[in-house]
Structure formats: C-alpha cells, structure tokens
Amino acid sequence: MSTDRHDHNGVNRRKVLECMTWAGTGILWTVAGGVPRSLGLVDEAMAQGAGPLTFLQISDSHMGFDKPANPNVNGTLEEAIGKIKAMPAQPSFIIHTGDITHLSKPAEFDDAEKIISQAKLDVHYVPGEHDIIDDEVKLYRERYGRGTRGLGWYSFDAGGVHFIGLVNVANLKAGGLGTLGPEQLAWLEDDLKGKSASTPMVVFAHIPLWAVYPQWGWGTDDSGRALELMKGFGSVTVLNGHIHQVMQKVEGNVSFHTARSTAFPQPAPGSAPSPGPMKVADEKLRGLLGVASVTFKQGEQRLAIIDQPLQG
C-alpha cells in the first residue's frame, strides 16, 4: 500500500478496504506529529519505513487456556509473533496489555516468554487479573516487575512520547470495577509533574480506563481521576485489552482503544449472558484474534481509528 492516502484529507475507501485484508494479529502504533495512530501491520510498516516511532500492541495471550473457544492459544500467539517478525520494518518495541497467562502458572509464563521473545523486541508489560492469581502473587513481579512500583506500574520515554503502564487489576472491591488506587494515582501525579503539555502521552493498562460496559466489569472505577491528571496534555492515547475485541472512543484530547486478544474472542457488550470466551466456527476464529485496520482523519491532529475483523 502506498503512503499517498496520508497526504490527503480523508481516506480512500478502496484503500481502506484493501488495508482490511492484511493478516495481522496485533495493532501497530505509530507516532507522527505527536499523535499516535494505529496502523495495519504489514503495509503501513512498509510505508512508514524508519521514520516515526512505531510500536506494536498485543494483548490477552492467555497461555494455558484450553477450552473450546481456542484449544491452541500457543499456536495463535506464535502466529501473531510470526506476523510481527515478517514485518518489513520492525516496530521499536511491543506493549503487552496483560493476561499473558490464564492461571499465573510458571509454565504458562515460560511459554509466553518462549514465544514472544522470538520477536526479538523489547516488550513492555502490564499485568491482567489472570497474571496475579498465583498463591503468593509473585510470579508476575519476579518476571516483569523490575524497576516498577506496586504490582508493576511504571513509565518510560521513547521517541518523544511519554509511556505510562498502569495496573488496574489488583485489590478490586466487591461490586466494583478495575481499580488504580490512591498510591498509584499519587505516583501518576508525581510522574506527570514537569512534563510539557505538548508531550504526547500513551497510557496502557489491562482493563479499559473508560466505562465500556460496567455491567460486565468493563471499566475502571477511578480512571476519571487519572484522566483528570492528564487533562492539560494535548494528546493522550489510552490502550487497553481485557475485552478481547476492538472498541474505541475519542473524548476531547483523549483517544481510547482496546486491542483484540491473541487467544479467544469475547462477545460484544450485552450480546451474551456473560463475557466469557466466545466459541465461533474454526474458520472464523482467526478473524477475531488481534486483527486491526485503521483509517485516518487527517488534519487537526485528531485521529479516528476504525478496526474491522478480517473476515465478514
């Protein structure tokens, strides 16, 4: 795919449809002009060359899951990593937005490491609720918690962008949603101090930081406080997983986006009795795992992300 559609306002519909046909299993993000945009994996990576910062988001690998919705989660994660390796221009790093494992077992973490490391890229993790259910709640921190606070929150800078990894899956309250908690919020306030308002922010956490569907627990109780702290920044992009499907919303300076899982799909909000793993016909499964394509609204530093399943 050529780069020409980035030079014009709007999007060439045919190009978008073409873009939807690539076989991707992650979301590739690029930051250009301070605004992160998600891209189709292969074509766009080629188009972008070595220019702007690019990174990839994968989520919800659920190593160890073996139910009918996908009895081979190792295989689909391998396929996802294979796609990344096949990209002509490699992203700078990967963000994994949690639920690396299904049951926080050492062998599950080992499998994830074995497969994801094949990408030969730095990976920045945040935990999902499935990653902290070992008896002593230590395996995630032992493996991924170095240099982080609490159960694993941290920030780093890359390519002029400030990245913030948050943990909203611990110390959950009965009847509530995801929680950041006062300690993490105080850290966030401190972390943002002195940052220029023009610094693009990318915030990533497992459970959506917006109320996708509270009836199913798809939201974070105190995310409003975190977003309040980021009100002064011109560009904030929030990346989440947990719901195993693409959802997005733009609100003022904040773009919210959830990634697909590499393991199994979950139903659209309210479309099933529960948010459990969704069984689909075998030939449809890969169309629902980690596939994203995006269209851009040019100008005004504003973006509109559109994601579609590859099939259907």
Partner 1 sequence: MTTRKVPAAASAAANLSAVLVAALIFLASPVWAADATVKIDNFTFDPPRLTVKAGATVTWYNEDDIPHTVAATGKQFRSKALDTDGKFSFTFTTPGSYEYFCSLHPHMTGVIVVEAATGSTQ
Please give the residue ranges that form the binding site for partner 1 (CB under 8 A): 67-69, 102-104, 129-130, 133, 135, 172-177, 214-217, 273-277
- Of the pair 175, 299, the CB lying nearest partner 1 is at 175
Tell me how far, at minimum, the Cβ of 112 lies from partner 1, in Å. Answer: 17
Q: Find the radius of gyration of the CA atoms of the chain.
A: 18
174-209 burial, b if ≥16 CB within 10 A, otherwise e?
A: eeebbbbbeebbebbeebbeeeeeebbbbbbbbbbb
Other CB atoms within 10 A of residue 3 CB = 13
Closest CA to 259 of 104, 76, 28: 28
Tell me how far, at minimum, the Cβ of 99 lies from partner 1, in Å. Answer: 11
Quickly list DSSP for 159-222: TTEEEEE---BSSPPTT--BB--HHHHHHHHHHHTT--TTS-EEEE-SS-SS-SBGGGTBSBTT
Tell me how far, at minimum, the Cβ of 214 lies from partner 1, in Å. Answer: 7
The pair of three-digit structure tokens given for residue 105, joined into one six-digit string: 């077992």
Tell me how far, at minimum, the Cβ of 217 lies from partner 1, in Å. Answer: 4
CB 205 within 8 A of CB 188: no
Q: For tokens 């899956």, what's the residue?
A: 169
Closest CA to 209 of 257, 261, 276, 161: 257
- Of the pair 135, 300, the CB lying nearest partner 1 is at 135
- Of the pair 51, 71, the CB lying nearest partner 1 is at 71
- Of the pair 57, 70, the CB lying nearest partner 1 is at 70
- Of the pair 271, 274, the CB lying nearest partner 1 is at 274
Tell me how far, at minimum, the Cβ of 27 lies from partner 1, in Å. Answer: 24
Tell me how far, at minimum, the Cβ of 98 lies from partner 1, in Å. Answer: 12
- Of the pair 7, 136, the CB lying nearest partner 1 is at 136
